[in-house]
Amino acid sequence: MESIKKMDFSYFPGCSLATTAKESNQSLMKVCEKLGLNLIELEDWNCCGSSSAHSLDQKLAFRLAARNLSLAPSDRPLLVMCPSCLHRLKLAHKVISENPEARAQEEARWGRPIDPGLKIMHFFELLSGIEPSRLEAALVRPLGGLKFVPYYGCMLARPPALRKERNYHGLIEKILSSLGAESLFWAFSARCCGTFLSAARPDIAVPLVNEIIGGAVKAGAECIVTACAMCQLNLEIRCTLETRIPTLHFSEILALAFGAKGSKSWFKRHLVDPMPLLKAKGLI
Amino acid sequence: MQNNASSSSLIDLTTCDRSFRHEVNERSGENVGLCWHCRTCAGGCPYVKAMDYHPHAVFRLVQLGLRKEALESSTIWICVSCNTCSIQCPAAIDIPAIMDALRHMALAEGVKIAQPEIVKFHEEVLGSIERYGRTHKLEIMMRYKVRMRQWFQDMDLGLKMLARRKLDLKPSKIDRPEEVSRLFTGSAEDGKH
């Protein structure tokens, strides 16, 4: 992929980053600012449909995603932060780009053109296109050997239709190690967090989350770094273990390393307080 | 886990519904016949303990034309479509796509839903999208707990989240809610997608 310099992106935050995970949204903005990337929020974006739409009504799921695609200007890539929103938008875009009839139907429904060549990318794809030297140049506060385990959840697992897309396994480890943190091996980096069962069936989500956090503690981690805001929330709210460790959004720890201001207001929103750890490590 | 009523008795193949698997294939765009029951899906699935049939066993029900057993299984609702199974499936079957098809058929055919609480949760999420164009988590959870009559479950958690400003009292709304709410009226039943 060509290297990314200063660029404009349409940005789809998704419901989690707009509400429960505002700290991830705010820290992402800081990271992009530090890297000279300009995020322009997608005008009047709607929920991608999440798990519920495709579970109950396929057409609804497709149309909710299609409306967002119809709102995206064609002159810049659409950046998505939530792995689940990314799948919904990409799957809908695949249908639209491969099926002219479906495209015409959705363009008529929304009264707006949909670019079949629209580039939809995750934050990880963006990061992987940035030269390591640029990330290191942005480093203000080295991460002081902070021991973390990377948590991707189901982000790396994709439906067969998207199987040929590039995979960003290892990106969290690679980047945070270059910024001075220490990545540890563990067994649960790609274990599903429980998603909506955390709300609908906490009895199923609790043992799953406990297994994940227990695994991180056993590996000697001081914190977990997540790729997805919903995973971050589930790991915080459904752990019933006595020994708990903080779960940080990837964007938060990046912003911290880049010396962004305002980080205390993000960490106040965590249910497992990361401040004692970050203070002990001299990061705050 | 694998003990449903049907496994205790012999399967009468003479009464099987031969059209069932074709319907599932058509709805999902997949071929359920490709599954040779290597059980890799069950080995990787984080949710098998909560399911009555393992994912491949649901496919066996479909292959055998056991419509009622497949559509009434809890598995189709417990599956969260995390795709852990489908990246491991040697036949590259989009397993969640088939689960989606079975969920839609279960609702359309009015069979007994094995996990009505999960359907209620999804309905609350969709209700929120219909009202605001986005999901309003506090309202979804409150309405869901009321419907489930679990008045106090998670109340302490909700208060903690409110104190940390993790939950917003007011929804995040779109500017043109009618664009989204009209998708829910049922009049938009045109086209294949």
Three-state secondary structure string covering chain A: CCCCCCEEEEEECHHHHHCCCHHHHHHHHHHHHHCCEEEEECCCCCCCCHHHHHHHCHHHHHHHHHHHHHCCCCCCCEEECCHHHHHHHHHHHHHHHHCHHHHHHHHHHHCCCCCCCCCEEEHHHHHHCCCHHHHHHCCCCCCCCCEEEEECHHHHCCCHHHCCCCCCCCHHHHHHHHCCCEECCCCCCCCCCCCCHHHHCHHHHHHHHHHHHHHHHHCCCCEEEECCHHHHHHHHHCCCCCCCCCEEEHHHHHHHHCCCCCHHHHHCCCCCCCHHHHHHCCCC
Which residues make beta-bridge pairs with A267? none
> Alpha-carbon distance A136 to A166, whole Å?
24
Q: What is the mean pLDDT of chain A?
A: 95
pLDDT tens for each residue of B68-88: 999 999 999 999 999 999 999
The strand pair at A147-151 and A120-122 is best described as unpaired
Question: pTM to 2 decimals?
Answer: 0.94
- Residue B46 carries which DSSP code? T
User: What is the model's pLDDT at position B151?
Assistant: 84
* A44 in B contact zone (CB under 8 Å): yes
Question: Which residues have CB under 8 Å from A34's CB, separation 6+?
Answer: A138, A255, A258, A259, A260
- End-to-end Cα, chain A, rounded Å: 35
Residues 116-145 (B) with a CB less than 8 A from some CB of A: 117-123, 125-126, 129, 133-137, 140-141, 144
pLDDT of residue A40: 97
Tell me what pLDDT residue B152 has.
Answer: 87
Pick the residue from chain A with its C-alpha nearest to B133: A46
pLDDT digits (tens, 9 = 90+) for B127-184: 999 999 999 999 999 999 999 999 888 999 999 999 999 999 999 999 999 999 999 9
User: Which residue among B83, B107, B166 sits closest to A20, beta carbon to beta carbon?
Assistant: B166
CATH architecture of A141-280: 3-Layer(aba) Sandwich (3.40)
Interface test with A, best of B166, B169, B178 (most A CBs within 10 A): B166
- Residue of B35, B83, B105, B185 to mutate, interface with A, max A Cβ within 10 Å: B83
The one-digit pLDDT tens for each residue of chain A (284 residues) are 455 656 899 999 999 999 999 999 999 999 999 999 999 999 999 999 999 999 999 999 999 999 999 999 999 999 999 999 999 999 999 999 999 999 999 999 999 999 999 999 999 999 999 999 999 999 999 999 999 999 999 988 888 988 888 889 999 999 999 999 999 999 999 999 999 999 999 999 999 999 999 999 999 999 999 999 999 999 999 999 999 999 999 999 999 999 999 999 999 999 999 999 999 999 99
Summarised one tens digit per residue, pLDDT across range A21-61 is 999 999 999 999 999 999 999 999 999 999 999 999 999 99
Which residues are A148's β-sheet partners?
A183, A223
Fold of A7-123: Glutathione S-transferase Yfyf (Class Pi); Chain A, domain 2 (1.20.1050)
Domain borders along chain A are 7-123, 141-280
| A56 with B122: Cβ contact below 8 A | yes
Domain parsing of chain B, residue ranges: 16-109, 116-184
Q: Is A112 on the interface with B (CB under 8 A)?
A: no
Residue with tokens 């609480």: B117
Residues of A in contact with B94 (CB under 8 A): 159-161
Instruction: Report pLDDT for B22.
Output: 98
B6 has pLDDT over 70: no
pLDDT of residue B14: 84
B176 lies within 8 A of chain A by CB: yes
